Amino acid sequence: MSAPPPAPTPTPARTAGPPAGPSREPYAPGELPPGPRAPAAVQTVAFHRDPLGTLQRARDRYGDLVTVRLLLAGTLVECCDPQDARRVLDADPGTGQAGRARQGLLGMVSERSVLGGDGAAHREARARVAAAFVPAALEGLAPRVAALAAEHAASWPTGRPTRLLPRVRALCDDVFVRLVLGVEDPGRARALAGAVQRMLWTPGNPPTPVPGQQAGPLVQAAARAAFAQRSAAARRLLADEVRARRAAGRAGGGAVGALLADDALGVGDAVDQLLPLTMAGQEPPAAGLAWVLERSSRLPALDAGLRGSAPGGAWWRAAVSEVLRVRPPVHTAARVLVRDLPLASRTLPAGVVAAAPIVLLHRDPRAWEAPEEVRPERFLRDGRHVVDEVPAAAYLPFGGGARRCLGEPLTWLLADAALPAVLARIRVAPALARAERQVVRGTVLVPHRGALSVLHPA
C-alpha cells in the first residue's frame, strides 16, 4: 500500500489559556485553591478509575486551579490552564523540585536516581547515563529492536482474546535489558527481564496504586517491605551484572556501562540508580505502544495509514504523536514548590505540590480543535513532522523543562523499529465493543482491560 496522501494544512489551534501577566495576590499560608470535598479515599478511587473524566469535572466546577486530595499521593494543586502548567514545568530547580514530587507520588525511587533526585544529585545521576539515551547511541540498535519485536510478535496467540499490554511490556522489558542496559549474558538478560515484570506487576482493575510518601507510616512501611521483596531478584541480577563487568575489568556498553564509567560508584549505589531507570525505561513506552495498537484497532484510517507509510517518516511520526496526545502514557508531571510560583491568576506558595495534568491538557479545547478526534495532520507542516509548532503548553507526553524525559529517544526507537515489526506480523481487532478507558497505574495510564484484543496474522 502506498503512503497516504499529504494532509491538508490544519486549522491553527486557538490560543491556550490567558496571556501571561502580573499575578494577583498569593494564597495565604495554609490556603489552597478550591477542589472536591469528597474524602481522599473517594477522590482516589474516582481518579484511578477515570482520571480524565474526574479532572474535567473538577476543572469545570472549580476553575483552572483545583486542589485534589489522594489517599496515597497526598494533596496536589492541579494547574489546568496550559500556560500555568508550562510555568510549573519550566520553573527552575530552585523553585520546583521534580524528584521530591516523584518520590511523593511513587515513594519507591531513590533520591540518588535520575527519577528521584534533585539539584546536584539529579544532575550527577543524569550525566552518568545520558550518553546511553542520546539518539546517536540508540539509532544503531534499530535492527536488533526490530528482530526482538518480530520474535515476540511471532509468539503472541492469534484467534482468541488476549491482553496486548502485558505482551508489549514483555517486549519493552526485553529491549531495555538486552539493548539499553546492555546485558549480554543470555541467561541473566532473560532472568532480569522476567524479574522486572514481576517487580512491576500490580493487582486489581484499576491496578492497585503505589503508595507515595504522603501515605501514613504504616502503609509506607508495608509498601516498602512488599517492594523490597518483589524487587529483590531484580536488584540481585543488576548487582551480578555490575560485579561481572567490574571483575572483567571493563565497563561494557549500554546504560550499565555508562554508569560504571564512574569508578567510585559502589555496587549498591549503582543498583539504586539502575532500578528506577529500569522501571521508567519500559513502563511509559510500553503503555504508549499498547495505545497505538489499541487505537489503530478501532480506527481503520489510522491502521491503514500506519501500514501504508514509511516507519519513522513524517506521517508515521505524526500519527504516533497524535496517539500520544489522546492517550498519553503518563497522567501528571509535578513539582514540589520550594519558592512561591506566580501563575496567571494567583501565586502558589512554597510547600505546595503543583501538578501539570497531562491527560487533561492534551484534551483542552482552548489548545486543540476537536480534541477528542485523532488527527495526525495536527503534527504535519508542509510534509514535515513537527512538534514545535503545536501548542507546546498543552502537549507534554515527555514532560517539560529541565526534567524532560530522558527516555524520549528510546520511545521513538521503539515506535520506529518495534511497532512496524509487530504490524508486519499481526492485525489487531478489539475484543470489546466499547473503547477501553484510561486507568491509572502508578503515574502511567493504561487501558483498563489491558487492551483486550483478538490478533490475526497480517
- Per-residue pLDDT at 36: 97
- Angle at which helix 164-175 crosses helix 267-298, to 10 degrees, equals 140
Q: What is the number of H-type helices and E-type strands within the chain?
A: 17, 14
| Among 283, 206, 209, 160, CA closest to 449 | 206
Whether 428 and 158 have beta carbons less than 8 Å apart is answered as no
| Among 84, 20, 74, 69, CA closest to 348 | 84
Antiparallel, parallel or unpaired: β 96-97 and 333-337: antiparallel
Q: How far does Cα 181 stand from its chain's mean position?
A: 19
C-alpha cell at 337: 514548590
- Per-residue pLDDT at 211: 53
pLDDT per residue, tens digit, the chain (458 aa), is: 444 444 433 433 433 344 444 446 777 777 899 999 999 999 999 999 999 999 999 999 999 999 999 987 889 999 999 999 999 999 988 899 998 888 777 666 778 788 888 999 889 889 989 999 999 999 899 999 999 999 999 999 999 999 999 999 999 999 999 999 999 999 999 999 999 988 877 665 555 555 555 555 666 677 667 778 888 999 999 999 999 999 999 899 999 999 999 888 899 999 998 998 888 888 899 999 999 999 999 999 999 999 999 999 999 999 999 999 999 999 999 999 999 999 988 999 999 999 999 999 999 999 999 999 999 999 999 999 998 888 888 999 999 888 899 999 999 999 999 999 999 999 999 999 999 999 998 779 999 999 999 999 99
Cα 304 to Cα 2, 156, 308, 453, 458: the distances in Å are 10, 22, 6, 18, 12
- The domain spans of the chain are 40-457
Residues 6+ apart with CB under 8 A from 283: 169, 200, 329, 441, 442, 444
- Per-residue pLDDT at 180: 96
Residues 6+ apart with CB under 8 A from 153: 171, 421, 422, 425, 426
- Per-residue pLDDT at 223: 65
- Cα(156)–Cα(56) distance, integer angstroms: 37
Enter the DSSP assignment of 416. Answer: I
- Cα(275)–Cα(109) distance, integer angstroms: 8
Any known ligand binding at 405? yes
Class of domain 40-457: mainly alpha
- Per-residue pLDDT at 8: 38
